Amino acid sequence: MTTNTQIADVLDEIGDLLEFQGTNAFRIRAYRNGARAIRELPEPISAMAERGDDLTKLAGIGKSVAEKCHELIDTGELKQLVELRKQVPHSVLDLLRVPGMGPKKAAMLFNELKIKDLDELKEACEQGRVRALKGFGEKTEQQILAGIEVAAAANTRMLWADADDVARSLLAHLKAVKSIQRMELAGSYRRGKETVGDLDILVVADDHQPVMDRFGAYEDLATVIGRGETKMSIRLKNGFQVDLRVVPAESFGAALQYFTGSKEHNVVLRGRARQQGLKINEYGIFDVSSGKEVYLGGAEERDIYDQLKLPLFPPEMRENRREFEWAEQGELPRLIELGDIRGDLHMHTTATDGKASLREMIEAARSRGLQYIAITDHSQRVSMARGLDPQRLRDQWAEIDDLNEELDGKFLVLKGIECDILEKGGMDLPDDVLEEADWVLASVHYGQQQSRKQITERILGAVENPHVDCIAHPTGRLVNRREPYEVDLDSVLHAAKEHGKWMELNASPERLDLHDVNCAAAQNLGIPIVISTDAHSVLGLDQMRYGVLQARRGGLRKEDVANTRTAKDFLKLLRSRN
DNA sequence: GCCGTTTTCGGCCCGACTGTTTTCAGTCG
Residue at A401: amino acid letter: D
User: Is the pLDDT assigned to residue A315 strictly greater than 70?
Assistant: yes
- A154 C-beta less than 7 Å away from strand B: no
Spacing of A178 CA from B16 C1' in Å: 26
**Start and end residues for every CATH 3.30.210.10 domain found in chain A:** 252-329
pLDDT confidence of residue A134: 84
User: Is the pLDDT assigned to residue A76 strictly greater than 70?
Assistant: yes
Among the ranges given (A107-116, A296-305, A331-340), the one the predictor scored with the smallest mean pLDDT: A107-116
Q: How far is CA A284 from CA A256, A262, A396, A398, in A?
A: 10, 17, 60, 63
Rounded Cα gap, residues A494 and A487, in angstroms:
13
pLDDT tens by residue, A407-466 = 999 999 999 999 999 988 999 999 999 999 999 999 999 888 888 889 999 999 999 999
- Nucleic chain B contacts, protein chain A, residues 64-123, CB cut-off 7 A: 64-66, 96, 99-106
- A259 C-beta less than 7 Å away from strand B: yes
pLDDT band at A265 (very low <50, low <70, confident <90, very high): very high
Q: Residue A501, class by beta-carbon neighbours within 10 Å (0-12 exposed, 13-18 middle, 19+ buried)?
A: buried
**Phi, psi of A276, deg, nearest 5:** -100, 15
CATH code 3.30.460.10 for A159-246: yes
- A227 C-beta less than 7 Å away from strand B: yes
Rounded Cα gap, residues A296 and A278, in angstroms:
9
What positions of strand B are covered by protein, i.e. any atom < 7 Å from a CB?
1-3, 6, 11-21, 25-29
**Start and end residues for every CATH 3.20.20.140 domain found in chain A:** 338-576
pLDDT confidence of residue A1: 66
Rounded to an integer, the average pLDDT of A21-27 is 84
pLDDT tens by residue, A461-472 = 999 999 999 999
Superfamily the domain A252-329 falls into: DNA polymerase, thumb domain (3.30.210.10)
Nucleotide nearest A133, CA–C1', reads B20
Contact criterion met (CB below 8 Å) for A134 and A173: no
- A33 C-beta less than 7 Å away from strand B: yes
Nucleotide nearest A243, CA–C1', reads B29
**Phi, psi of A400, deg, nearest 5:** -65, -40
Superfamily the domain A4-156 falls into: DNA polymerase beta, N-terminal domain-like (1.10.150.110)
Mean pLDDT of the residues in chain A: 91
Which residues face A284 on adjacent strands? A281
**Start and end residues for every CATH 1.10.150.110 domain found in chain A:** 4-156
pLDDT confidence of residue A155: 53
Nearest residue, CA→C1' of B25: A135
pLDDT confidence of residue A152: 63
Rounded Cα gap, residues A208 and A131, in angstroms:
35
**Phi, psi of A125, deg, nearest 5:** -65, -45
Nearest residue, CA→C1' of B16: A231
Rounded Cα gap, residues A125 and A141, in angstroms:
6
Q: Residue A390, class by beta-carbon neighbours within 10 Å (0-12 exposed, 13-18 middle, 19+ buried)?
A: middle
pLDDT tens by residue, A345-376 = 999 999 999 989 999 999 999 999 999 999 99
DSSP letter string, A20-84 = HTT--HHHHHHHHHHHHHHHT-SS-HHHHHHHT--GGGSTT--HHHHHHHHHHHHHSS-HHHHHH
Which of the two residues, A149 and A255, has the higher pLDDT score? A255
Q: Which residues are CB-neighbours of A117 under 8 A, at least 6 positions away?
A: A89, A91, A92, A94, A95
User: Is the pLDDT assigned to residue A153 strictly greater than 70?
Assistant: no
pLDDT band at A388 (very low <50, low <70, confident <90, very high): very high
3-state SS of A71-126?
HHHHHCCCHHHHHHHHHCCHHHHHHHHCCCCCHHHHHHHHHHHCCCCHHHHHHHHH
Spacing of A36 CA from B29 C1' in Å: 19
pLDDT tens by residue, A172-195 = 999 999 989 999 999 999 999 999
- A229 C-beta less than 7 Å away from strand B: yes
pLDDT confidence of residue A188: 92
Return the sign of the alpha-carbon dihedral for residues A26, A27, A28, A33: positive
Nearest residue, CA→C1' of B18: A226
pLDDT tens by residue, A191-226 = 999 999 889 999 999 888 899 999 999 988 988 988
**Start and end residues for every CATH 3.30.460.10 domain found in chain A:** 159-246
Rounded Cα gap, residues A356 and A239, in angstroms:
35
User: Is the pLDDT assigned to residue A6 strictly greater than 70?
Assistant: yes
- A239 C-beta less than 7 Å away from strand B: no
Q: Which residues are CB-neighbours of A345 under 8 A, at least 6 positions away?
A: A373, A374, A376, A414, A416, A439, A441, A470, A504, A530, A532, A563
Q: What is the C-alpha radius of gyration for chain A, rounded to an integer number of angstroms?
A: 26
What's domain A338-576's architecture?
Answer: Alpha-Beta Barrel (3.20)
